[in-house]
Amino acid sequence: SIRGAVAELYGETVAQAVRIQYGGSTNDKNIAGFMNMPDIDGALVGGASLKAESFVGMVTATARVRG
């Protein structure tokens, strides 16, 4: 994992401080799956952010997963 590689190079404290952002395609249908992954801290939202309804769906889904 990316966090594991950072831990090997710089130590666990640094690895836990690093925020890992998912940069692939996300939408209101798949964001919860990514936000459930322990080593993903957020997502870089692209085109889906241009559609308000889709973006609100992404925020809502993320809030359900992350609290």
The tokens describing 50, both together, are 């241009």
pLDDT at 49: 86
Global pTM?
0.80
Residue 17 has pLDDT above 90, yes or no: yes
35 contacts 61 by C-beta, under 8 angstroms: yes
Question: If you average pLDDT over residues 8-24, what whole number do you get?
Answer: 97
HSE, CB side, 13 Å, CA atoms: give it for residue 29.
1
Under the banding of pLDDT at 50, 70 and 90, the label for residue 46 is confident
